[in-house]
Amino acid sequence: MPSATCVSCNGQRPAALVRPKTSEPYCKQCFFDAFEREIHETIVKEQLFKPGETIAVAASGGKDSTVLAHVLKLLNERHSYGLKLVLLSIDEGITGYRDDSLETVKRNQQQYELPLIILTYKELYGWSMDEIVKAVGRKNNCTFCGVFRRQALDRGAMKLSVNKIATGHNADDIAETILMNILRGDIARLKRCTLIMTGDESDDSEGSIIPRCKPLKYAYEKEIVLYAFYKRLDYFSTECLYSPNAYRGNIRTYIKDLERLRPSSIIDIIHSGEQLLVKQSTKMPVQRVCERCSYCSSMPICKACLLIEGLNKGVPKLGIGKTERYRKEMQKKDECCSDQSLCHCMKEKLTVNEHN
Amino acid sequence: MCQINEEDDEAFQALKSGTNKGPISRKCVSCDQDACVVVRTADPMCRKCFEEFFIHKFRSTLSKSNVFGRGENVLLAYSGGSSSSALLHLIAEGLSVQARRRLQFQAQVAFIDESSLYSDVVSVREKVTDLITNRLQYPLHIVSIDDNLDKDDDFQQLLLERTKTLTAREELVRRRRLKLLFDIAIREKCTKLITGDNCTKLAAQILSDMAQGKGAHVALECNLTDSRNDLVTIVRPFREITSKEIAMYNRLNSIESLQNADISTMSGPQSSIFQLTETLVNDLQRQFPSTVSTIFRTSDKLEKNIRPERCDLCCCPLDINVDESLISDQNRQKLVHQLFTTSPNSNEPVHVCYACRRLLRDVQPNVQSH
Ligand SMILES: [Zn+2]
Ligand SMILES: [Zn+2]
Ligand SMILES: [Zn+2]
Ligand SMILES: [Zn+2]
Ligand SMILES: [Zn+2]
């Protein structure tokens, strides 16, 4: 729409883009302002941060976490949140895989002048993914990458004793997760996935892990891409080797189609998810805390600790036993990667949660 | 042996003895007869057992929690589609004197005629009258979808010209239909409204509602009884029966449904959120046969929203606070009054839920500014 003028500054500047959220023409400056203001309003309204807190920004080098780091740094200064921000990256220790994205994160560190901490699986679990593959073979490594990846941020954050973790989950991710949880009947996660903050005082279903928040909860993926593009942010666009399984692929296409019919659909799904009330009588998994690592777990010892135990004792199949049959069934629907290749989809593993 | 051999019908898997290789040996899961009906690939059934299973499912849903009082006046929403046709058939059997456990309520039937919306569509009123009044002899109430509207607020023009999207058209018709059914029920002193919603349709409806911001009402919309209206309770006896099972039952009993025009088929190749969702659910169901039942089970674990304030469009409890739900635009307020309330005072405030508010954004409220 080249001749249109920006709806926000009343034609002072020509429009440069159509805002995906509203389908209205915007100039670049007004789009930046609106995008940043909305995130600020979310942070204030949902009371995501308190002055003096140290926040670990989960940094993968991808667009979501890069935009998150950029915007949090900017808003922290603009509105004097009084936060100490650190970038936290996880290196799984897969030769050749993280190199490019970690380079991106390192450049981000300099561009944003934020401290960067890279924690390796070796430091967190005593084993790198390469070593695990060597020990268990390629067939079983998926169990490990799934379980370890889910816990890595929490373990890292506990190690650094930060107050909160901020992740780059955007509105599209959350809408997708809501629908996925309905389709696979996961009532416990259905409620939790709409929460903007988990693990804080208000969330009684969780053990004593570090609170997590999603400041981009209401930000459209398309707007994040536009923002990163026009701001010329340095991010690593992952050629995701992961091809979503039939189920998730269907849902993703469905959401894109919905967005085409009605751009507000993504926000509408989130509103729907937030309104769902779970019956009191519904059985919810009891959450307690792992005796070894104090990560939340439904068992006395969490899956990750069980797997580590197995690795250390030279019986890597420990922990892939009985529960694995169930896990296999889940993975038929929601396979994270094929048997012979390593799982290369950080974001996927953060949103694809499985039962422990 | 079974008489029905419809190989290409998806809902059917005819088993011919000795010809096809796979299913020859398939026996009914409940008795030892040859199977002729396969609803779930794992359990083929013979005709007799299928019908028993089907009727049992229907009757047990109805007898759960004693939905109907003895002699209660009940209104049946008949649309001519396969679900409501099957429903009518089952209820007629259940009410007949020969029935084993006779249903004890008094049935009346309502038909909402949409044909006035479309220029070259023949109304099916005559067929409906013939079936309900002459053959089944139930009191019949036929109401046109634009009943009771002034000449100057033409519902056809509103829908086809001033409503931007097919989604909004479908949803307006859906809400107005329900509104008219409630009106008939109240007028005829019926305290229950039975609809033919089956679980396949409801599963799509649940997701489609989610996509339109109507999550707050999902639990209500798929429940056996729905009390969004204080005077008339909606009852959904087919909520645990799939569209496949209904198609099969209709086939076996030669129950015909009516070819009826609706807003979706009349709107050309456009798509709507509901259609998109229905396609998704059907695709998934084909690949993962537990899709429909899982969606359904999930929503069964949800609590109904019981806020006393209701939406003036869909009659469901409000899911946003009262200030946010108030419609400030005079023309929109007037529009809602004309289409959805019986209140003669069009200055009374109008409150709508999140989804209906979103829906109204696609509707141009007044003719003048068009
Ligand atoms: Zn502007
Ligand atoms: Zn542990
Ligand atoms: Zn994997
Ligand atoms: Zn049988
Ligand atoms: Zn409503």
Question: Which of A182, A245, A332 to mutate against chain B (most B CBs within 10 Å)?
Answer: A182
Check whether residue A256 and residue A335 sit in a common domain: no
Architecture of domain B51-300: 3-Layer(aba) Sandwich (3.40)
Record: contact A268-B211, CB cut-off 8 A? yes
Question: Which of A256, A258, A259, A272 to mutate against chain B (most B CBs within 10 Å)?
Answer: A272
Q: Check whether A168 is labelled as a binding-site residue.
A: yes
Q: Would you state the pLDDT for residue B191?
A: 95
pLDDT at A328 over 50: no
Whether B212 contacts chain A with CB within 8 A: yes
Q: Each residue's pLDDT tens digit in chain B (370 positions)?
A: 332 322 223 333 322 222 333 444 577 777 777 777 776 656 778 888 888 888 888 888 877 767 888 889 999 999 999 999 999 999 998 887 777 778 888 999 999 998 888 777 777 888 999 999 998 999 999 998 888 776 556 788 888 888 989 999 999 999 999 999 999 999 999 999 999 999 999 999 999 999 999 999 999 998 999 999 999 999 999 998 999 999 999 999 999 888 766 777 766 667 899 999 999 999 998 888 889 999 999 998 998 888 889 999 999 999 999 889 999 888 888 888 888 876 667 778 899 999 999 999 999 877 654 4
Higher pLDDT, A67 or A323: A67
Q: Would you state the pLDDT for residue B93?
A: 87
Compute the nearest-CA separation of A277 from chain B (Å): 5
Separation of alpha carbons B162 and B364, rounded Å: 5
Residues of A with CB under 8 A from a CB of B: 178-179, 181-187, 190, 246-247, 250-251, 254, 257-258, 261-262, 264-265, 267-269, 271-280, 282, 333
Compute the nearest-CA separation of B216 from chain A (Å): 5
Please report whether residue A130 resides in a domain: yes
**Domain of residue A197, CATH code:** 3.40.50.620
Q: Would you list the domain boundaries of chain B?
A: 7-45, 51-300
Residue B154: both structure tokens together: 């033409």
**Which residues span the domain enclosing A331?**
286-347
Check whether residue A245 and residue A306 sit in a common domain: no
Residue A116's closest CA among A129, A104, A126?
Answer: A104
Separation of alpha carbons A141 and A317, rounded Å: 10
Instruction: Give A251-280 pLDDT, tens digit per residue.
Output: 999 999 999 999 999 999 999 999 998 888
Check whether residue A324 and residue A196 sit in a common domain: no
Q: Would you state the pLDDT for residue B344?
A: 66
Taking the model in full, what pTM does it have? 0.85
**Residues, CB within 5 angstroms of ligand 5 (ion):** B 311, 313-314, 353, 356
Check whether residue A92 and residue A227 sit in a common domain: yes
Please report whether residue A353 resides in a domain: no
Check whether residue A196 and residue A271 sit in a common domain: yes
Whether B141 contacts chain A with CB within 8 A: no
Q: B77: part of which helix (H) or strand (E)?
A: strand B73-77
Whether B245 contacts chain A with CB within 8 A: no
Check whether residue A143 and residue A193 sit in a common domain: yes
Residues of A in contact with B206 (CB under 8 A): 182
Please report whether residue A272 resides in a domain: yes
Question: Do strands B233-235 and B225-226 pair parallel, antiparallel, or not at all (unpaired)?
Answer: antiparallel
Q: Check whether A171 is labelled as a binding-site residue.
A: no
Compute the nearest-CA separation of A335 from chain B (Å): 14
Check whether residue A211 and residue A248 sit in a common domain: yes
> What mean pLDDT, rounded, does chain A reach?
80
Q: Which of B209, B273, B297 is opposite residue A262, by nearest beta carbon?
A: B273
- Please tell me the distance between residue B356's alpha carbon and the centre of ligand 5 in angstroms: 4
- Crossing angle between the packed helical segments B273-287 and B291-300, to the nearest 10 degrees: 120
Check whether residue A125 and residue A254 sit in a common domain: yes
Please report whether residue A173 resides in a domain: yes
Q: Number of structural domains, chain A? A: 2
Check whether residue A319 and residue A254 sit in a common domain: no
Record: contact A333-B273, CB cut-off 8 A? no
Check whether residue A255 and residue A316 sit in a common domain: no
In chain A, % of residues over pLDDT 70? 79
Question: Which of B210, B271, B295 to mutate against chain A (most A CBs within 10 Å)?
Answer: B210
Q: What is the DSSP string of A197-250?
A: EESSTT-TTS-S---EE-TTTT--HHHHHHHHHHTT---------PPPPHHHHH
Q: What is the DSSP string of B138-178?
A: --EEEEETTTT--TTS-HHHHHHTSB--HHHHHHHHHHHHH
SS3 category, A33: helix
Q: Check whether A64 is labelled as a binding-site residue.
A: yes
Separation of alpha carbons A303 and A66, rounded Å: 31
Check whether residue A152 and residue A272 sit in a common domain: yes
Q: Which long-range contacts (CB under 8 A, 24 or more apart) does B11-18 make?
A: B11/B39, B11/B244, B11/B247, B11/B248, B11/B251, B12/B37, B12/B38, B12/B248, B12/B251, B13/B37, B13/B38, B13/B44, B15/B44
Q: Check whether A173 is labelled as a binding-site residue.
A: yes
Check whether residue A309 and residue A167 sit in a common domain: no
Please report whether residue A4 resides in a domain: no
- Residue A203 — very low, low, confident or very high, per pLDDT cuts 50/70/90? low
Record: contact A280-B303, CB cut-off 8 A? yes
